[in-house]
């Protein structure tokens, strides 16, 4: 139980730290209904729903984020 409480404390501290940094949206976004992204202090990328900025975020490792953005830049996805 002590390990679980310690882990929850770490999550709360991380969420507070994340909330202090700026999140960014695409320049094409003209509403709050967009995905927001930001670099994380310990590496990787945070991704969250712009309609719910106080909600959870998805943590994506740097290598996977780079693969995703490279894929999008190459326009190899179905439209």
Asked if residue 79 belongs to a domain, the reply is no
pLDDT recorded at residue 16: 60
- Domains of the chain: total: 1
Residues 6+ apart with CB under 8 A from 79: none
Q: What is the pLDDT of residues 24-42, one digit of tens each?
A: 888 888 877 888 988 888 7
Q: Is position 78 within any domain?
A: no
Q: Is the pLDDT of residue 2 over 70?
A: no
Name residues whose C-beta falls within 8 Å of residue 38's C-beta, 6 or more positions apart in sequence: 18, 21, 22, 23, 24, 45, 46
Q: Is residue 52 part of a domain?
A: yes
* pTM for the structure as a whole: 0.62
Range(s) of the domain holding residue 27: 2-73
């Amino acid at each position: 139980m002590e390990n679980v409480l310690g882990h929850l404390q770490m999550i709360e501290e991380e969420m507070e730290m994340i909330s202090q940094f700026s999140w960014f949206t695409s320049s094409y976004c003209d509403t709050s209904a967009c995905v927001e992204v930001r670099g994380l202090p310990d590496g990787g990328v945070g991704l969250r729903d712009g309609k719910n900025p106080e909600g959870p975020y998805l943590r994506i490792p740097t290598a996977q984020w780079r693969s995703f953005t490279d894929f999008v830049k190459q326009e190899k996805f179905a439209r």
